[in-house]
Amino acid sequence: MTSYHAPIPEMMFVLKELADLDGVSGLPGNEEATPDLIAAVLDEAAKVAQEVLAPLNQVGDQQGSRLVEDRVTTPDGWQDAYRTFIEGGWNSLAFAEQYGGQNLPWLIATAVQEMWHAANMSFGLCPMLTQGAVEALILHGSPELKDRFLPKMVSGEWTGTMNLTEPQAGSDLSAVRMKAMPEGDHYRLFGQKIFITYGDHDLTENIIHMVLARLPDAPEGTRGMSLFLVPKVLVDEHGGLSQRNDVRCVSLEHKLGIHASPTCVLAYGDNEGAVGYLIGEENRGLMYMFTMMNLARHAVGVEGLAIAERAYQQARSYARERVQGRPIGVGAGDRASICHHPDVQRMLMAMRANIDAMRALVYLWASALDKANKHPDREERERHSQLVEVLTPVVKGWCTETGNEIASLGIQVHGGMGYIEETGAAQHFRDARITTIYEGTTGIQANDLVGRKVLRDQGNAARALIAWMRATDVGDVAGLGRAVASSLTHLSDATDWLLDGGGKNPRLAASASDDYLRLWGVVTAGWLLAKSASAAERSLTDGDGDVEFLNGKIASARYFGTHVLPHSAALLRAITEGAEASLALHPELV
Amino acid sequence: MKILVPVKRVIDYNVKVRVRQDGSGVETVNVKMSMNPFDEIAVEEAIRLQEAGRAEEIVAISIGAPQCQETIRTALAMGADRGILVETEQDLEPLGVSKVLRECVDRESPDLVIMGKQAIDDDCNQTAQILAGLLDWPQGAFASTLKFSDGRVDVTREIDGGLETLSLLLPAVISADLRLNEPRYVKLPNIMKAKKKPLDTIPIEELGIDVAPRVSTIKVEEPPARSGGIMVASVEELVDKLKNDAKVI
């Protein structure tokens, strides 16, 4: 079994130096979020992650959740862990005080979420889905529905799910067929939903499903979908539980990874129809889904970071212990642990540098979300809201693709032992694999970036963000300032290509979109790590901070600047000269 | 019953302790600090007594630099009612600590003082015993179970030969051993509430006591690195080596 140790100094460094923790603490409503409180919160969350959740990760993978008749049983220890989790108040961390939340910034929620997912991603998914359902209800639900359902969902006494996908409606939600028939003050729902994470489980006595369905007279396509709240067990006006609703788990998927997270097929309305309550207005369901999408996609980006961190910790400790061969250039003497071999050292450095890069990007996004929500100045709110919009698909797409690469490197560091399941490295690789798929595949993220975030506003938001990065003084530690400047030019050129030529041909733009998303990831992360290296050097000069730690920050930025950031030139070329090459053959002959 | 719980800020148990370059002590700058784990057990026990209706008030007390407030806040987040920081930049020895605590006992008049059996930094294991001596109170060190009844506490102690149970008259001083309880996870809302609980600071000078160290540290150094082991061919050779090389038998 492998352990997890929450990297709090790394987190604090990014929070303070790159994600403007002081600025976020200073926002109206965030007065409580002082640095000493945040340190205490991270310390206590770390204990729960390390001691309660992490030890269940492997047993969860091996046992998986099981379906017995129409009830899902979670792995051994899951119920106790969930109780510890909600009794600790962790479920309500970022929600508003008026609903029983702790009202802490999303920036802090993000750091804490990183711990949950790194400790045990299958577990972390449960509160993550609840968070989405809570957001939907807060933003669009009626006061009555909020009163009846929110308090227990905020506390975590009840969990939430998101029901979008149907067998014929995956990435294309316009094909959703689930029916909702009006009946008095509620609706009756009929149909089947698939891929419902934690659609059923034994952790809580009720589960609140958010379900996309069509009314009988609804228009075709995406404009004809409404959002419904469907409880597993019906709830009376006083919040008491009454009878089982007509919704059942009929099957669990057999998956490559995240075995402990039950992925359910839910059957609605096999008998009298499942009672559901309309959220907001009719036919606006998909739009409501979009309002929660940024947070949900960011949360999956956090998973990419988190699983990479876990894979790195495991690879690092193995590489320090496993003795094999003598160091290169030394013919005789003692054998060395494999971390002394340059190629293994390179892999660990690649893991470390990419993790620093992902953490910077993921935290920056959360900081921008807090400012977009709470900054007193309207222009600042808009600027940060633009950043959130442009970077959401980048955080989701780039951090999950990179998370997969890092989890794969984690196995490579182990050599043959990594391929053996008992070692535990393979689980991270398998668990990571879903992150580039759910909550919109990387392809969907890339389309979102190119179509909605760049072409739709003629590149205004993207260009403003590039200009902002250009105008920031990132210093020039280890030549990073110059490297970032030329990479920003590549990003700017690729954006121009999309806006001036490529974007006019939608197939060409779509073909270039994946490389364009990666370009954004590499350049924004490189820009952040240049800042990181400057901040570390400043602290070294001031004699303020742990020298070894700060040197580590500079070294990882330097690795990123020389090994990853230069990809920007190749990506630019792939976009401007290679988009056509991908489409050279007839689609059915590829 | 009112309970006083002394808590010490120490280098976190996960940190690999390093000796300062000049040999004057161990490195504490930029090192993660947290509450002495045995003190955490003491705080937990006090809270359980309060939850069981046996204690009205729990006062957490720490002695040291202003950063010790964080340690007190941890105790407050666990459930202590208020905190006292006796502020000093000086390193105190157990005798000094006990004298400070005696002053605080005089001011607070608790019925019980409970603390960790030792701190994981210097491992002295003296403060509870000296304090009991200074106060002339009964003491129960290395407690693994406490049972309270009218004005008395039965303390089960972990001693070399097994378990020993003492019946003490209150007020008393108790030191907590590892198996007394398992401290709870701090709840997020309680971390937030802890910020609002009262925490008084008393400059150590105000107490007017002599806390000057009685011991001077000449030099601190790393323990010698373990040299590699050797394989022996026979029992005879092993005995010979133990006798003549290691000189342990």
Predicted confidence at residue A306, as pLDDT, reads 98
Give the pLDDT confidence of A529-548 residue by residue, as tens digits: 999 999 999 999 999 889 99
Per-residue pLDDT reduced to its tens digit, B139-150 = 999 999 999 998
| Calpha distance A178→A532 (Å, rounded) | 49
Closest CA to A520 of A433, A574, A449, A472: A449
Cβ-defined contact of B186 to A44 (cutoff 8 Å): yes
Q: How many CB atoms lie within 10 A of CB B14?
A: 10
pLDDT at A292: 82
Can the peptide bond before residue B171 be classed as cis, meaning omega within 30 degrees of 0?
Answer: yes
Q: What is the CATH superfamily name and number for domain A8-155?
A: Acyl-CoA dehydrogenase/oxidase, N-terminal domain (1.10.540.10)
pLDDT of residue B106: 96
Distance from C-alpha of A559 to C-alpha of A478, rounded to nearest angstrom: 10
pTM of the model: 0.93
The pLDDT assigned to A369 comes to: 96
Measure the CA–CA gap between B208 and A245, rounded to whole angstroms.
71
Q: B115: part of which helix (H) or strand (E)? A: strand B112-116
B38 contacts B141 by C-beta, under 8 angstroms: no
| Size of the A and B interface in Cβ pairs below 8 Å | 51
Domain parsing of chain B, residue ranges: 2-245
Dist. CA A211–CA A220, nearest whole Å: 17
Residue B89: helix, strand or coil by DSSP?
coil
What pLDDT, on the 0 to 100 scale, is given for residue A329?
79
**Alpha carbon of B124 to those of A206, B121, B138: distances in Å?**
52, 8, 20
* Interface mutation vs chain B, best among A10, A13, A37, A44, most B CBs within 10 Å: A44
What letter would DSSP give residue B176?
Answer: E
Q: What's the one-letter identity of residue A403?
A: G
Q: At residue A486, does pLDDT exceed 80?
A: yes
Residue of A nearest to B72 (CA): A40
Distance in angstroms (rounded) separating the CA atoms of residues A214 and A223: 10
Q: What percent of chain B has pLDDT over 70?
A: 100
CB atoms within 10 A of CB A555: 17
State how far residue A128 is from chain B, nearest Cα, in angstroms.
18
Could you tell me if A92 lies within 8 Å of chain B, comparing CB atoms? yes
Structure tokens that stand for B175 in this block: 């030191």
pLDDT score of A291 more than 90:
no
In this complex, is the C-beta atom of B30 within 8 Å of any C-beta atom belonging to chain A? Answer: yes
A438 touches B: beta carbon within 8 Å: no
Could you give the 3-state DSSP secondary structure of residue A207?
A: strand
pLDDT one-digit tens code per residue, A105-115: 999 999 999 99
Percentage of chain A beyond pLDDT 90 is: 91
Chain centroid to Cα A300, Å, comes to 2
CA A55 to chain centre: 22
Average of pLDDT values for B164-169?
97
* Lowest mean pLDDT across A158-162, A566-570, B228-232: B228-232
pLDDT over 90 (residue B237): yes
Residue B177's pLDDT band, with cuts at 50, 70 and 90, is very high
pLDDT tens-digit map of A187-198 = 999 999 999 999
- CB-CB neighbors (< 8 A) of B191 in chain A: 37, 40-41, 44
Question: Lowest-pLDDT range, A36-40, A257-261, B244-248?
Answer: B244-248
| Neighbouring C-alpha atoms within 13 Å toward the C-beta of A368 | 24
* CB contact (8 A) between residue B188 and residue A87: no
The minimum CA-CA distance between B20 and chain A, rounded to whole Å, is 13
Range A251-270 burial, b when 16+ CB lie within 10 A, else e: ebeebebbbbbbbbbbbbbe
Q: Is B102 on the interface with A (CB under 8 A)?
A: no
Which residues from chain A sit within 8 angstroms of residue B192, using beta carbons?
Answer: 32, 37, 102
- Kindly report the CA angle at A109 between A384 and A258, in degrees rounded to 5? 115
| DSSP secondary structure string for all residues of A20-86 | -HHHHHTSTT-TT--HHHHHHHHHHHHHIIIIIIGGGHHHHHHH--EEETTEEEPPTTHHHHHHHHH
Give the pLDDT score at A328.
Answer: 84
Per-residue confidence (pLDDT) for residue A414, from 0 to 100: 97
Catalytic residue among A439, A537, A548, A577: A439
- The identity of residue B123, as a single letter, is D
Q: Do B185 and A92 touch (CB under 8 A)?
A: no
At residue B223, the pLDDT reads: 87
d(CA B118, CA B248): 30
Summarize the confidence of residues A348-360 as an average pLDDT.
Answer: 98
Output the pLDDT for position B124.
Answer: 95
- Mark out the alpha helices in chain B (DSSP H runs): 37-51, 68-78, 94-108, 127-135, 188-194, 235-240
Please say if A439 is a catalytic residue: yes
Residue of B nearest to A104 (CA): B192
Minimum-distance CB partner of A87 among B30, B32, B187 = B187
CB-nearest to A102 from B32, B74, B192 is B192
**Alpha-carbon Rg of chain B, whole angstroms?**
21
B192 touches A: beta carbon within 8 Å = yes
> What pLDDT score was predicted for residue B202?
97
CA A173, CA A220: separation in Å to the nearest integer? 11
Looking at beta carbons, which residues of chain B come within 8 Å of A25?
none
What are the distances in angstroms from CA A229 to CA A208, A234, A416, B47, B121?
7, 11, 48, 41, 55
Extract the tokens encoding B116. 């960790």
For residue A214, the model assigns a pLDDT of 97
The pLDDT score that the predictor gives to residue A17 is 97
Q: What is the CA radius of gyration of chain A?
A: 24
pLDDT number for residue A504: 81
From residue A53, give the alpha-carbon distance in Å to each of A91, A116, B47, B126, B189. Answer: 14, 7, 25, 37, 20
Residue A326: pLDDT band with limits 50, 70, 90: confident
Give the C-alpha separation, A520 to A465, whole Å. Answer: 11
Least CB–CB distance from A44: residue in B30, B191, B195: B191
- Of A424, A414, A409, A352, the closest CA to residue A55 belongs to A424
> B76 to chain A: nearest residue by CA?
A40
What CATH number does the domain located at A159-283 have? 2.40.110.20
Query: Can you spell out the DSSP letters for A90-140?
Result: GGGTTS-GGGT-----HHHHHHHHHHHHHH-HHHHHHHHHHHHHHHHHHHH
Q: Each residue of B35-71: pLDDT tens digit?
A: 999 999 999 999 999 999 999 999 999 999 999 999 9
Tokens representing residue A374 in the block: 């709470």
A138 to chain B, any CB pair closer than 8 A? The answer is no
The closest of A130, A90, A97, A129 to A112, measured between CA atoms, is A90
Q: How confident is the model at residue A461 (pLDDT cuts 50, 70, 90)?
A: very high
Query: Which tokens belong to A559?
Result: 């690795």
Topology, domain B2-245: Rossmann fold (3.40.50)
pLDDT band at A485 (very low <50, low <70, confident <90, very high): very high
What mean pLDDT, rounded, does chain B reach? 95
When pLDDT is averaged across residues A359-365 and rounded to a whole number, the result is: 98
Beta carbons of B77 and A549 less than 8 Å apart = no
Sign of CA dihedral A218, A221, A227, A228: positive
Residue A422: alpha-carbon gap to chain centroid: 27
Is B126 part of the contact surface with chain A (CB cutoff 8 Å)?
A: no
Assess whether pLDDT exceeds 60 at residue A1: no
What is the predicted pLDDT for the residue at A238?
Answer: 81
Enumerate the residues of chain B whose CB falls inside 8 A of the CB of residue A8: 32
Please state the ipTM of this predicted complex: 0.88
Q: Is the pLDDT of residue A503 over 80?
A: no
Residue B153 has pLDDT above 70, yes or no: yes
Cα–Cα dist B11/A87, whole Å: 29
CB-neighbour burial class of residue A276 (10 A; exposed 0-12, middle 13-18, buried 19+): buried
pLDDT for A113 equals 98
B12: pLDDT strictly greater than 70: yes
* pLDDT(A277) > 70: yes
A32 neighbourhood in chain B, CB within 8 Å: 192, 195
Check whether B226 has a pLDDT greater than 90: no
Q: Is residue A332 predicted with pLDDT exceeding 80? A: no
Per the CB < 8 A criterion, the answer to whether A67 and A252 are in contact is yes
Q: Which pLDDT band holds residue A156 (cuts at 50, 70, 90)?
A: very high
Chain A residues in contact with B30 by the CB 8 A cut-off are: 545-546, 549
pLDDT given at position A333: 79
Q: Please write the tens of the pLDDT for every residue from A27-51.
A: 999 988 998 899 999 999 999 999 9
In this predicted structure, the answer to whether residue A58 has a pLDDT above a threshold of 70 is yes
- Residue B125 confidence (pLDDT): 96
User: A485, A426 in Cβ contact below 8 A?
Assistant: no
Q: Which residues of B touch A34 (CB under 8 A)?
A: 195
Model pLDDT, residue A39: 93
Q: Assess A150–B contact: CB distance below 8 Å, yes or no.
A: no
- Report the pLDDT averaged over residues A555-564: 98
Which one of B30, B34, B194 has the shortest CB-CB distance to A545?
B30
**Residue the block writes with tokens 């969990």:** A159
Q: What is the pLDDT of residue A311?
A: 98
